[in-house]
Structure 1
Amino acid sequence: MRSTIVGLTALLLGLGTAHMAQAALSPAPDNAQVAWILADAKTGNIEASHNGELLLKPASTQKLVTTLAGALALGPDWRYQTQVYYRGQLNEGHLVGDLLVDFVGDPTLKREQLRDLLKRSGVTHISGNLLLNQARFSGYDRGNGGSWNDLSLCYTAPVSALILDRNCVQGALYANAGQAARATVPAHQPVKVSAEVEVVNSTEQKRSFCSLDVEMTPPNQYRLLGCIGPRKEPWPLRFAIQDVSAWGQDLSRWALGQAGIRLSGTIKDSRIHLAEQDWQPLASHQSPPLTELTRVILEQSDNLYADSLLRTLGAEHFQQAGSFANGTQAVREILLKEANLNLGPSWLADGSGLSAHNLLRAQDLLAVLLVIANEPRAQWLKDLLPVSGESGTLLYRKSVQDPSLKGKIQAKTGTIAHVQNLAGFLDADNGQQKVFVLLQNALSISPQHEKDIAAGIGEWPARRFERDWLSSAVHQGVIK
């Protein structure tokens, strides 16, 4: 299979000379940066291209790159394994020594599973300490280039080795007209939320440029400020945990109590390399296999899962603590070694595409898709992509809601501020399957245009262009 992949990658070198007619295609959004490629899924033959070598922000289409590296390096059956170890003397459930939970970045791990894991250890009394080990990852728990004012939101939750309940807390903000706003979180959550928020009408919001803001202070305290419009139903809140250590200690204390384990010492963080210490295994918990984890990454565009996979690739590939730096380098080396795919001048800052520092070319994404289409070790990824009008992030995407496009497109979406991307596969009406990449960056419209759209006059240019582009590729088999 290697010769086929080499051939497909070499074919991409000719992208700069591919041409196409555009007569029937609606204009791309004004002032935007747009790139696209359409190719035969089996042969890789380029049928249409525009700006294929232009470096653009991939947003979540970058998850295609991360999951391909995961498929090639780890395989579909790979799982995270969280383990409990002890050192000291253990006799009939009484441990004279320390118990250690080795967290490995499992994004699926829940507090109830930690409880069950501790219970399976057979320990009933710990005379020493409970150690929460996070040696699996090192460095920052978020990639460079994230937006500072997104830090309180759950889609940017810290990608630490210790992940419990997605490192996220859900709450609600009650904003009834004529009353002070009130914020709540479930009583069992070890966080504190308060609100000093005015409830005002939309006219007052616009006049005062008032918005809902949040201040965060340790340990995991959130204070809502500003103003918000009235609403009968509560506004949903989702807070990303800021102090992972406090979060882990609080939930571990709950898990110990629920498991009936008495702790004489304290709960502490640690970064112990177990191979260098006298630790004995007691119990383990496995995540779902990589196939199921990848389904969440591709179908739901989950940032936590994607970035944990990236840091894990760094740990596995270099046999050291995983980080965003060695994770992105691992992805490059894995793709080059396993698929002869060279990302060249592209820039990777994370595995999710959330960072504004990421830069990819349309031809890079096309090369990734061709490997997915033709490499047996990676073909299972294609079946996990969202389907137009049927699943995941393409279930309600307005550009693919036309009945004639339903079920015709399998693709990864990519959306951040001023970016709307799509990359994947489509079934043309002539029976051919195509690989496509459509990237739209630097998207913006005037305030008046935005008001018109909100009033039902016209539509977003990027959405119209994406719909027309896809319709042309599906129904005519070409872009023209």
Structure 2
Amino acid sequence: MKISRREAMTGLAALGLCGGPALGQGTALRPGSAEDVIAAAQLGGEVSYVVVDARSGLVLEQRGADRGMPPASTAKTITSLYALETLGPDYRFRTRLIATGPIAGGKIQGDLVLAGGGDPTLETDALAEMAARLAAAGVRGVTGRFLVWGGAIPSAEQIADDQPVQVGYNPGISGLILNYNRVYFEWKRAAGGYALTMDARGARNVPRVYSADVGLSSRAAPLFTYARQGGKEHWTVASGSLGKAGSRWLPVRDPVAYAGDVFQTLARAQGVPLPPPKSVSTLPGGTVLVEQVSDPLPVILRAMMKHSTNVTAEAVGMTTSVARGAPAGRGASGAAMSEWLHARLGGGRARFVDHSGLGADTRISAMEMVRAVTLLGPKAGLRGLMKPFALRDAGGKVQQGQALRVDAKTGTLNFVSTLTGYMTAPDGSELAFAIFTGDVARRARAGASEQPQGGRAWISRSKVLQSALLERWGALYGG
């Protein structure tokens, strides 16, 4: 695609790369075709997008690109940029076992502290390895207490307030995160009823969980209820909803108690009996006996982008705000990221209520998203963190042998579907884009439902629309 110097400078100004306006007007739509594609999707609500030449910054096509829309999980794109600039690509999270006194006669003369460092990828098997290393260091018990600290980042019982109570993608947050703060619930029909279990399973270790329990209820609805009482998490499930057998991950609302519970079991299996875990708000000083170190930040972010893990985004974003000396509590940390983005883009109206995009009140325009992807993404290696996007045909099926290389982040909420990233056309043309679709009114009417009526079909039509727009741009601007 050949672009004149004048066109390139116009595009650079539109993206804020030279002394032009903060947000550009772009070029007009080709008559009919893009609007026909949008009309055929029959989504209702709003559809906005912008596509730019990634090298020059030229705005090639846009529709409502200045309109603030819910980004859903494409917000993780901004979180990744926020974290990489502040923490750096070499950053690793650390989970530690700290002794407040010396080891004598096989026992810590004082307390043992399990101290979280905000690692969102800590799993049961890694915690089991820490217990084994503690035993290998000669520890056989403590004279004092077993303390658990999760204060590396502020805690919250859930990420968003408008989600169904049972969804595992909306767990609690703290500086000690285990199994993405989820507990495994399994049921099997047995004589006289059901056998129900809750565990913190890993690939090699399946410790029973004592900090949470679940019971049956003969009601028809709701599917699940939840309560915290007596230092324990209590679930009930509607018995009529259970088949012969099944399982699912439920969210953990008290992550510190959960991690302490599981570690106590794992340590006991290594011959290190510990007293009941006790949560503390202040980290005691002492000697680090065992340290579990996470993968480097880009590895964590790549997995987050691929699997869209919300608690990872929140932990990474809050850790970044702490490192910047900014407010890091739920909501406040999202606002801190908003201010950071405004500073980097030279203005804007983006407003984040979290780092994962789960909160439906977050708003960012397609233009602001593309400016971030284009201006900040290359230095951060953002494209390498995104996953390949498979184009869909008119029937919603994945196309075979697509000619366009698309690396992108998807986002999905009820009646919200978003996509942002990069595209390479067959001739080598590089484009960056953001596509936001959302029927906010219909989402509000659906309420806190896992599968609202018509929701899946709506999302499917949106994905077909996204693919059609990408193919259109590849044909128009990549030839």
Counterpart Cα distance in 2 of 1:22 and 1:273 = 63
Deviation of residue 183 (structure 1)?
4.7
**Contact preservation (8 Å) 1:405, 1:471:** no
Match of 1:239 in 2: 250
1:384 is matched with 385
Verify: 1:437 aligned to 2:452, yes or no. no
Once residues 180 and 397 of structure 1 are traced to their aligned partners in structure 2, the CA distance between those partners, rounded to angstroms, is: 46
Q: Against the structure 1 CA distance between its residues 397 and 45, is the aligned structure 2 distance closer, same or farther, given a 3 Å change threshold?
A: same
| Aligned mate of 1:353, from 329, 342, 357 | 357
Structure 2 residue 153 is the aligned partner of structure 1 residue 146: no
Partner of 2:209: 189
Residue in structure 1 matching 2:260, options 249, 259, 263: 249
1:343 touches 1:364 (CA, 8 Å); kept in 2?
no
Matched, 1:402 2:399: yes
The residue that corresponds to 2:330 in the other structure is: 324
Q: How many angstroms apart in 2 are the aligned matches of 1:61 and 1:397?
A: 24
1:459–1:285 Cα change, 3 Å: closer
Contact 1:211 1:228 in 2 (8 A): no
Is the 2:120–2:177 contact (alpha carbons within 8 Å) kept by the matching residues of 1? yes
Task: Normalising by structure 1, report the TM-score.
Answer: 0.81
Deviations 1:50-107 (A, max 9, x none): 1111011000010000001111111222110112222234335322211112112211
Paired residue secondary structure (2:109): strand
Which whole-Å deviations, capped at 9, do the CAs of 1:386-427 have from their partners, x for residues lacking one? Answer: 1123xxxx8999857223536621111011011011111112
> Which residue of 263, 268, 271 maps to 2:281?
271
SS at match of 1:154: coil
CA contact (8 A) 2:388 2:405 kept: yes
1:78 to 91, 102, 125: 91
Write the distance in 1 (CA, Å) between the matches of 2:341 and 2:177: 28
**2:372 aligned with 1:368:** yes
Rounded to whole Å, the distance in 1 between the matches of 2:261 and 2:188 is 27
Superposed, 1:42-441 pairs within 5 Å as 42-121=55-134, 122=137, 123-143=139-159, 145-149=160-164, 151-173=165-187, 183-185=196-198, 188-190=208-210, 191-196=212-217, 213-218=223-228, 219-225=232-238, 227-228=240-241, 234-263=245-274, 265-274=275-284, 278-318=285-325, 322-335=328-341, 340-342=344-346, 344-375=348-379, 378-379=380-381, 381-389=382-390, 401-403=398-400, 405=402, 408-441=405-438
Q: Residue 467 of structure 2 aligns with which residue?
A: 467
SS in 1 for 2:96: strand
Q: How many positions carry a matched residue from both structures?
A: 441
Does residue 13 (structure 1) correspond to residue 22 (structure 2)? The answer is yes
Q: Provide the residue aligned with 2:4 in structure 1.
A: none
CA contact (8 A) 1:310 1:324 kept: no
> Is the contact between residue 351 and residue 364 of structure 2 (CA under 8 Å) also seen in structure 1?
yes
Q: Deviations 1:337-373 (Å, cap 9, x if unpaired)?
A: 6xx3246322111110001111111111101110344
Alpha-carbon spacing, 1:459–1:136, altered in 2? closer, same or farther (3 Å): closer
> What percent of counterpart residues are identical?
20
Distance change in 2, residues 1:372/1:453 (3 Å): closer
* TM-score, L = length of structure 2: 0.81
Could you tell me which amino acid in structure 1 is paired with residue 471 of structure 2?
S
Letter aligned with residue 132 of structure 1? V
Letter in 1 for 2:296: P
Output the aligned Cα RMSD.
3.6
- Cα displacement string for residues 296-333 of structure 1 (whole angstroms, at most 9, x for unaligned residues): 1111111111111011112111178x423442244245
Judged with a 3 Å threshold, the aligned counterparts in structure 2 of structure 1 residues 407 and 126 are, in CA distance, closer, same or farther, namely farther
**2-side partners of 1:125 and 1:173: how far apart?**
35
Gapped runs of 5+ residues in structure 2?
1-11, 200-206, 447-451
Going from structure 1 to structure 2, the CA distance change for 1:11 and 1:382 (only over 3 Å counts) comes to farther
Deviation, 1:113, is 2.2
Can you list the C-alpha shifts for 1:175-230, whole angstroms capped at 9, x where unaligned? 89xx97765445723332233368xxxxxxxxxxx666101133222211274486
Counterpart of 1:159, as a letter, is: I
Q: Against the structure 1 CA distance between its residues 161 and 139, is the aligned structure 2 distance closer, same or farther, given a 3 Å change threshold?
A: closer
Is the 1:12–1:363 contact (alpha carbons within 8 Å) kept by the matching residues of 2? no
Kept after mapping to 1: 8 A contact 2:186/2:198: yes
The answer to whether the 8 A contact 2:153-2:315 is kept is: no
User: Is the 8 Å Cα contact of residues 328 and 351 (structure 1) preserved in structure 2?
Assistant: yes
| Partners of 2:272 and 2:60 in 1: CA distance | 64
Aligned-residue offset at 1:133 = 1.0
C-alpha distance in 2, partners of 1:157/1:315? Answer: 21
Deviation per CA, 1:14-67: give whole Å up to 9, x if none: 423542224222134353111100100111110111111101100001000000
Structure 1 partner of 2:8:
none
**Aligned structure 1 segments of 4 or more residues deviating by more than 6 angstroms:** 179-182, 394-398, 450-454
How far apart are the structure 2 equivalents of 1:153 and 1:452? 19
Q: Secondary structure at the match of 2:56?
A: coil
Rounded Cα–Cα distance in structure 2 between residues aligned with 1:30 and 1:403: 26
Cα distance in structure 2, aligned partners of 1:126 and 1:387: 50
Unpaired runs of 5+ residues, structure 1, are 199-209
3-state SS of 1:316 partner: helix
2:204 is aligned to none
